[in-house]
Amino acid sequence: MTDLLNRAGMLDCKPLTTPAAVTSLVSSATTPYENPTQYMRIVGALQYLTITRPDLSYFVNRLCQFMHAPTDDHWGLAKRVLRYIKGTISYDLRIAPSISTIIQAFSDSDWAGCPIDRKSTSGYAVFLGTNLISWLSRKQRTVARSSTEAEYKALADVSAEVTWVVSLLRELGLHSSHPATLWCDNLGATYLCANPVFHAWTKHIEIDYHFVRDKVASGDFVVNFVSTKNQLVDIFTKPLTGPRFTLLRDKLNVVSHQSCA
């Protein structure tokens, strides 16, 4: 990480407590950044960092969307992310011994959060016992016409990931007999998972997303409602205030090596 800061000429920068302010990450500014190659190299390096720093996933995902034509504002956001890294350079994802093989997954979406194309951002976090083993922050491929549709698409993404994780654990002989629990903070999406009746306002949802209901009907998954207050995946779908960001980062087990010593 020190090398990354050095390449950006920010070894002596002032650290920050969050990667971005609680405002839109996309502005109307169109002034092209004078050194797009530098932008692409820095953001490309940040992608590797998200392998052990899930708290950076959302912001790096946003930066990657402008690789082809970064502006001065995009470079400003990249520098802010680097200043956050400077303040948390000792942080990493902690994996601790756990006897539990129960899988729990959280999914969420920020409906129409992108002001450019109004596509939503999906996020999920998959836990094996107390350990975070898989996560995602990604813009959805299509525009969702309702928050329920956006949340259901996020559920579909995490369902596919959990299906793969269960298959892998079964091959390793570690699969639990308990069904995986999926947590969602949208009641409409939760009801759709168990309701076999199609409503007129859900018919436009692509058929492949409805495989979630097959998993629920077969007993492989249990989909439960979680309050927004306890939704861990907010950190993967939107910028947050400092206290909220720190709380969720801690719950993802992203902690300082110094505190673990």
What's this model's pTM, rounded to 2 decimal places? 0.90
| Contact in structure between 84 and 16 (CB atoms under 8 Å) | yes
| pLDDT surpasses 70 at 116 | yes
> Of the given ranges (53-62, 139-148, 162-171, 225-234), which has the lowest mean pLDDT?
139-148
DSSP string, the chain: -HHHHHHTT-TTPPP-SSSS-SS-S--S---B-S-HHHHHHHHHHHHHHTTT-GGGHHHHHHHHTTTTS-BHHHHHHHHHHHHHHHHTTTEEE---------EEEEEEEETT--TTT---EEEEEEEETTEEEEEEEEE-SS--SSHHHHHHHHHHHHHHHHHHHHHHHHHTT---SSPEEEEES-HHHHHHHH--PPPGGGTTS-GGGGHHHHHHHHTSEEEEE--GGG-GGGGGTS---HHHHHHHHHHTTEEEHHHH-
| pLDDT surpasses 70 at 199 | no
* Residue 175: predicted pLDDT: 75
Would you identify the CATH topology of the domain 103-251? Nucleotidyltransferase; domain 5 (3.30.420)
* Residue 64: predicted pLDDT: 94
| Section 100-115 average pLDDT | 91
**pLDDT tier at 50, thresholds 50, 70, 90:** very high
Selected residue with higher pLDDT from 128 and 13: 128
Q: What is the pLDDT of residues 237-261, one digit of tens each?
A: 999 999 999 999 999 999 997 755 5
Q: Distance between CA atoms of 58 and 56, rounded to whole angstroms?
A: 6
| Section 17-44 average pLDDT | 82
| Section 206-215 average pLDDT | 78
* Residue 242: predicted pLDDT: 92
**pLDDT tier at 208, thresholds 50, 70, 90:** low
* Residue 5: predicted pLDDT: 78
* Residue 98: predicted pLDDT: 85
Domain spans in the chain, listed from the N-terminal domain onward: 2-89, 103-251
**pLDDT tier at 24, thresholds 50, 70, 90:** low
CA distances to 24, 42, 69, 79 from 7, rounded to whole Å, are 27, 8, 20, 12
Cα-based torsion angle of the residue sequence 139, 144, 149, 153 in order, rounded to the nearest 10 degrees: -30
The overall average pLDDT reported for the chain is 88
Q: Distance between CA atoms of 100 and 250, rounded to whole angstroms?
A: 20
| pLDDT surpasses 60 at 73 | yes
* Residue 204: predicted pLDDT: 62
| Section 1-15 average pLDDT | 81
| pLDDT surpasses 80 at 183 | yes
CA distances to 81, 189, 193, 207 from 214, rounded to whole Å, are 41, 14, 8, 12
Selected residue with higher pLDDT from 210 and 228: 228
* Residue 29: predicted pLDDT: 61
* Residue 135: predicted pLDDT: 97
| pLDDT surpasses 80 at 198 | no
